[in-house]
Amino acid sequence: MDDSLRELYERGKELFKKGELKNAEEFLRKFAQSNDRFADVFNMLGVIHQQKSEYQEAIVSFQKALQINPNYTEASLNLALAYNEIGEYKKGQEHLIRAQQTTTRETKTGLLDDVARAKLANMHAEIADVYRSLGEYAQAVDEYRRALDLKPNFPDIRTKLGISLREWGRLEEAVMEFERVKEIRPAYSPAGINLGIAYYSQGDLERARSEWLQVLKYNPDHQTAKFYLGLLEKKENIS
């Protein structure tokens, strides 16, 4: 690669990492016009199109990236996301499976980077959200756990796992998941709120009250915590 092309490539990557996508696109396009053998360039161009809601153009770019490097996990994930954005869920699922297969190989060799792990975890969580909305709790729990295998410390995903377990009637397991979130992020209010609900469902009103009061300790204006404490007070007054 000559110096002028190298400069286009390095400058485009630098601007992309900084989030200056418009300027990055100019350099990356010029590079791709002269050298179409760099998968990461087409992946970056695809991301830029995606950010502009140009999903068909994004799909073409991600496909080019995968033609160059069929094992490019991030491009597979991005392509799956692009297909989902235009309602092509079956194609999106195909590329998610492809990314999973690549992930399995890369995880064994330690090559999967953190960005790819996070993206794949979030896509599993999105699928789980759909299953949960349909009341398919077994599938939802499986997908949330697949996500957490990749990123164990994502508090939002673990909290959703706990909610699914609670709605499925598996209260003790739900409590364990909410408590794990609180060990990592004591001030994460969704975990505290839902742990209180789980205790309430078990008939343990004092623990429920304690959790909701703790939420208010970290966030004095949390309206949901205030609402639940109010309901608890009314219930006790009636009793």
Average pLDDT, the chain: 87
pLDDT recorded at residue 109: 42
pLDDT above 90: residue 110: no
Proportion of the chain above pLDDT 70, given as a percent:
91
- Alpha-carbon span 56 to 82, nearest angstrom: 8
User: Do residue 217 and residue 145 come from a single domain?
Assistant: yes
3-state percent breakdown (helix, strand, coil) of the chain, nearest 5: 80, 0, 20
User: What contacts 132, CB < 8 A, 6 or more positions away?
Assistant: 140, 160, 163, 164, 167
pLDDT confidence bin for 103, thresholds 50/70/90 = low
Report the pLDDT value the prediction gives residue 116, as an integer from 0 to 100: 73
- Which of 91, 112, 133 marks a domain boundary? 112
Say yes or no to pLDDT of 111 above 70: no
CATH number at residue 46: 1.25.40.10
How does pLDDT run across 46-73, given as a tens digit for each residue? Answer: 999 999 999 999 999 999 999 998 877 7
Q: Which helix (H) or strand (E) holds 20?
A: none
What is the pLDDT at residue 238? 62
Higher pLDDT, 10 or 114: 10
Give the pLDDT band of residue 107 (cuts 50, 70, 90): very low
DSSP secondary structure letter of residue 135: T
Q: 175 and 104, same structural domain?
A: no
Q: What is the mean pLDDT of residues 215-239?
A: 85
Six token digits for residue 93: 């699922």
**Cα distance between residue 156 and residue 130, in whole Å:** 15
What pLDDT, in 10s, does the model give residues 124-170?
A: 888 888 788 888 899 999 989 989 988 899 999 999 999 999 999 99
Domain that holds residue 22: 1-112
The full 3-state SS of 40-63, as one line of letters, equals: HHHHHHHHHHHHCCCHHHHHHHHH
123 and 108 in a single domain? The answer is no
Indicate the helix (H) or strand (E) that contains 187: none
Examine the fold and report which residue of 112, 140, 170 is the final residue of a domain before the chain moves on: 112
Residue that is written with structure tokens 């957490």 in the block? 148
pLDDT digits (tens, 9 = 90+) for 5-19: 889 999 999 999 889
Of 36, 30, 59, residue with least CA distance to 46:
59
Domain end among 55, 84, 112: 112
User: What does the pLDDT average to over 113-119?
Assistant: 74
Tell me: do 83 and 132 sit in the same domain: no
**Do 77 and 57 share a domain, yes or no?**
yes
Same domain, 152 and 82: no
* 78 lies in the same domain as 132: no
187 pLDDT more than 90: yes
For residue 47, the model assigns a pLDDT of 93
67 and 143 housed in the same domain: no
Residues 107 and 122 in one domain: no
* Token pair 């073409």: residue: 60
pLDDT at residue 108, rounded to an integer: 45
Domain tally, the chain: 2
Residue 50 near residue 78, CB atoms below 8 Å: yes
Same domain, 185 and 233: yes
pLDDT of 74 > 60? The answer is yes
Regarding whether 157 and 64 lie in a shared domain, the answer is no
Same domain, residue pair 231 and 123: yes
